[in-house]
Amino acid sequence: MTKHHEYFVTCAPGVEQTLFQEMKSLRLSSVECQVGGVYFRGTVEDSWLANLQLRTAIRVLRRLKRFQAPDDDTLYNEVRGIDWSPFLDADGEFFVDAQCSESNLDHSQFIAQRTKDAIVDEFREKTQQRPSVAKENADLRIHVHLWRDRCTLAVDTSGDSLHKRGWRKYQGRAPMAETLAAAVILLSKWDQRSPLVDPFCGSGTLLIEAAMMARKIAPGSFRQFGFEKWPEHQPRKYKTFRENILAQADWKKKVFLFGRDQDADRLDGARANAETAGVGMDIQWDVGDALEFPFKKRWGAWVVSNLPYGKRIEEEGLQELHHQWGNYLRRECEGYHISLLVGERTYAHALGFQNWDETKLRNGSLRCSLVNVDL
């Protein structure tokens, strides 16, 4: 458990610096911000901590080997040279995910197939058994990344993507990823004490992530991880480790969160999600128009929302909606901190703010911007 390994934690584009700060706050070692994620060195326990506690991470990958792979035979031999028994039983199931760019090996499916062949042949030679391939619920996910013939081979400690927290019972229309919601809350610089309002709350993702953050509820509290299926895993030690993390939740703190949506059914789903996440008592829900939200005159409150995009959901009059919403905020929310996730940049300008900060993000495949402004 004291041996150190190399890890790479992936995240959505634009979130790297936020994830970097999260990892620094967890006191992980040798943390380095890179394109698409953040690198660190640590023990197996550090990977447990990262999976349980990181709110903006998508996957925690443990690097096994880096090597030049100018051809498929080299790739095959390098993969066969790895001892896979700590991660996979001879009769287990695994899946290979391959990516490549600017390399002689330029077909990801072929790279995945050669990697699979090497692993199967290694087990067959040593044990007279062979693992099988399974895309869903695999015991082990393996990542192969080739760039300019440089191959990085890693195993996925997370299993399912970390945005799958385990608390979501209601999906709703085009729900926001939990990891992106956490990034938006962190980028808003909410102090986790002041009131926070989401007048376009939908299925409640932003508010639930904010409540969990304020209460110090680990985002991985409700799910299992890939490493729990590995032969090297120590379940008794992990059980104690996990219980200590969960015990850090703060149930005495007062949290003031308010959500509104025009669709009563969506709010019913949001309530169900919040109850599953253990924060149902922290959020007040209200059916109504965002442009009629009864903001109170107070300094230091936050408005954080994911505004309609008109991409995955057909919406009419989005330009006018953003214009009206910006006017309403300026009229009703003096002294508030505003953080709005918008789609096209024209929508950001339609809000009509004179001075605002912008962070470019991705909501799935959609390019979007987080607009931050103090009124």
**Within this chain, do residues 189 and 334 fall inside the same structural domain, yes or no?**
yes
pLDDT > 90 fraction of the chain, expressed in percent and rounded: 87
Looking at the domain assignment, is residue 24 inside a domain?
yes
Shared domain check, 124 and 196: no
Question: What span, in angstroms and rounded, lies between the C-alpha atoms of 177 and 191?
Answer: 22
Per-residue pLDDT of 44-66, as tens digits, reads 999 999 999 999 999 999 999 99
Is 173 a domain residue?
A: no
**HEC-encoded secondary structure of 255-287:** CCEEEEECCHHHHHHHHHHHHHHCCHHHEEEEE
3-state class percentages of the chain: helix first, strand second, coil last, to nearest 5? 35, 25, 40
Average pLDDT over the chain, rounded to an integer: 94
Q: Helices 205-214 & 264-277, crossing angle to 10 degrees?
A: 30
pLDDT band at 316 (very low <50, low <70, confident <90, very high): low
CATH number of the domain where residue 366 is located: 3.40.50.150
When mean pLDDT is compared over 108-122, 310-324, 361-375, the highest value belongs to 108-122
| Contact by Cβ (8 Å): 65, 99 | no
Q: Per-residue pLDDT tens for 320-360?
A: 999 999 999 999 999 999 999 998 888 899 999 988 899 99
Instruction: Output the pLDDT for position 312.
Output: 47
CA dist., res. 126 & res. 120, Å (int): 10
Other Cβ atoms less than 10 A from the Cβ of 355: the count is: 6
The answer, yes or no, to whether residue 200 has pLDDT greater than 60, is: yes
In the block, which residue shows the tokens 């991470």?
57
* Exposure string for 94-120, b = 16+ CB within 10 A, e = fewer: bbbbbebeebebeebeebbebbbbbbb
Residues 301 and 339 in one domain: yes
**110 found inside a domain:** yes
Question: Are 63 and 182 found together in one domain?
Answer: no
Going by pLDDT thresholds of 50, 70 and 90, the confidence category of residue 288 is: very high
Same domain? 92 vs 190: no
What confidence category does residue 314 fall into, taking pLDDT thresholds of 50, 70 and 90?
Answer: low
184 and 292 inside one domain: yes
Range of the domain at 185: 178-215+250-374
pLDDT tens for 122-134 read 999 999 999 999 9
Strand ranges inside the chain, DSSP E: 5-10, 29-34, 37-42, 59-68, 93-101, 132-133, 140-147, 150-156, 196-198, 257-261, 283-287, 302-306, 337-342, 357-363, 366-374
> Is 62 in the same domain as 141?
yes
Write out pLDDT tens, residues 213-272: 999 999 999 999 999 999 999 999 999 999 999 999 999 999 999 999 999 999 999 999
The mean pLDDT value for 99-127 works out to 95
Q: Is residue 171 part of a domain?
A: no
Q: Are 125 and 205 part of one and the same domain?
A: no
Contact 203, 34 (CB under 8 A): no
pTM for the structure as a whole: 0.94
Cβ atoms 141, 159 nearer than 8 A: yes
Q: What is the pLDDT of residue 201?
A: 95
Instruction: Kindly give, in sequence order, each residue whose CB lies less than 8 Å from that of residue 168, ignoring residues fewer than 6 positions away.
Output: 175, 178, 203, 205, 273, 276
Please say whether the beta carbons of 195 and 293 come within 8 A: no
73, part of any domain: yes
Q: Is residue 269 part of a domain?
A: yes
Q: How many domains does the chain have?
A: 2
As a whole number of angstroms, the distance between CA 305 and CA 363 comes to 13
CA distances for 60 relative to 20, 46, 234, angstroms: 13, 10, 18
| pLDDT at residue 308 greater than cutoff 90 | no
191 and 140 inside one domain = no
Average pLDDT over residues 132-142: 94
Q: pLDDT over 70 for what percent of the chain?
A: 98
Shared domain for 144 and 259, answered yes or no, is: no
Is there a single domain that holds both residue 10 and residue 146?
yes
Does one domain contain both 149 and 182? no
Domain-located, residue 243: no
